[in-house]
Amino acid sequence: MMALDEAARRRLIETVARTIIDHSDELTSLDQAIGDGDHGANMKRGFAAVLADVDALSAKSLPEALKALGTQLVMKVGGASGPLFGTLFMALGKNLPDAPDRQAVAAALDQAITAVKARGKADVGQKTMLDVLLPVRDAIAGELDIRSVADRAVAAAEATIPMKATRGRASFLGDRSIGHMDPGARSSALIVGAIAAALGTTS
Amino acid sequence: MSNVGIVIVSHSPLVAEGTADMVRQMVGDEVPLAFCGGNGDGGLGTSVEDILSAIDKAWSEAGVAVLVDLGGAETNSEMAVEMLPEERANRVVVCNAPIVEGAVIAATEASGGASLDMVKRTAEELSPG
């Protein structure tokens, strides 16, 4: 159902990387409110490395490209979001077939969520990226159209605003973390939105 | 050298270096030691690439104990351990201990020839709970 040729893989990778880079100031200000303020710069560093490598990445099959992209994030981000987002992409690559259908994407995302939970020793409801990834998985499994999946991701990131952080640097703030959107949740929603935009232009 | 090696991973290059100085003062060159800190761009943070090089530099056949400061250092160190070749990965442990006190006591224990497990346990006795 979703066999992406090299041009489509390039568009997918570039759209995700550029979206994160373009929003790095916003991600940094979210992280300044409840964290150490480095999320935007860290993600930008990671995705700049991905962009620099886009020729090699898009020449690979979709699963191999995702694994290599995840490894770039692990090595280059310079904060905990490197292993967390890196693990997300590496686990997706490990579990996706070359031409996945919708249920294969949902199943791979489910495996990736399990891997991210283990990496971060975290679960849903702790004001993290997981609070976006789970609703996204459910939306994909529930056969929502791709724009609605992206909308669901944006809403899920906004739903982290009233949550109290119990994992990560924001948890040091306790109740003071309430009232701010989680930067990792926002990044996740941006990535999902970028994927939807890139795939939306192919179909 | 067959003593357990020590790796110090801090968000701050200065904290990492200062902690390593304190370790050296206690154990001299009897323990393989390496440290890293910073995000690779000169800012605060921790880098998986740098942690992998530090583990390589402090490598000992008896294993390596890694001491970390805040959460990101722990997550990045665990990631680095998983990226090691298998025969090395099972001889590297991340200790749940305060970074300065943990590094000094772990190195002191290591300098007496203690096993990796013993070094880790001694450092972790410093953690509450």
Is 70 exceeded by the pLDDT of residue B91? yes
Is A193 a domain residue? Answer: yes
Cβ-based neighbours of B118, under 8 Å, separated by 6 or more: B109
Q: In chain A, pLDDT over 90 holds for what percent of residues?
A: 93
Is 90 exceeded by the pLDDT of residue B128? no
Give the model confidence (pLDDT) of A147-196 as tens digits.
999 999 999 999 999 999 999 889 999 999 999 999 999 999 999 999 99
Is A169 a domain residue? Answer: yes
Q: According to the model, what pLDDT value does residue A203 have?
A: 45
Cβ-based neighbours of A135, under 8 Å, separated by 6 or more: A152, A153, A155, A156
Tokens of B42: 């000169």
Is 90 exceeded by the pLDDT of residue B71? no
| A79: closest CA of chain B, how far (Å) | 5
| B19: closest CA of chain A, how far (Å) | 20
Is 70 exceeded by the pLDDT of residue B76? yes
From edge to edge, which strands make up the β-sheet containing B64-68?
Answer: B33-37, B5-10, B64-68, B92-95
Is A1 a domain residue? Answer: no
Identify the architecture of domain B5-124 in CATH.
3-Layer(aba) Sandwich (3.40)
Domain that holds residue A79: 6-202
Is 80 exceeded by the pLDDT of residue B115? yes
Q: Among all residues of chain A, which has the CA nearest to that of B38?
A: A78
CATH of the domain at A49: 1.25.40.340
Report how many domains make up chain A. 1
Give the model confidence (pLDDT) of A10-25 as tens digits.
999 999 999 999 999 9
Q: In chain B, pLDDT over 70 holds for what percent of residues?
A: 98
Domain ranges, ordered by start, for chain B: 5-124
Q: In chain B, pLDDT over 90 holds for what percent of residues?
A: 91
Is 70 exceeded by the pLDDT of residue B1? no
Q: What mean pLDDT is reported for chain A?
A: 95
Which residues of chain B neighbour A75 with C-beta distances below 8 Å? Answer: 47-49
- The answer to whether A49 and A71 have CB atoms below 8 angstroms apart is no
Which residues of chain A neighbour B48 with C-beta distances below 8 Å? Answer: 74-75, 82-83
Is 80 exceeded by the pLDDT of residue B79? yes
Q: What mean pLDDT is reported for chain B?
A: 95
Give the model confidence (pLDDT) of B99-113 as tens digits.
999 999 999 999 999
Tokens of A116: 């991210």
Considering only CB atoms, which residues of chain B are within 8 Å of chain A? Answer: 38-41, 43-49, 70-72, 75-76, 78-79, 83
pLDDT average, residue stretch A135-157: 95
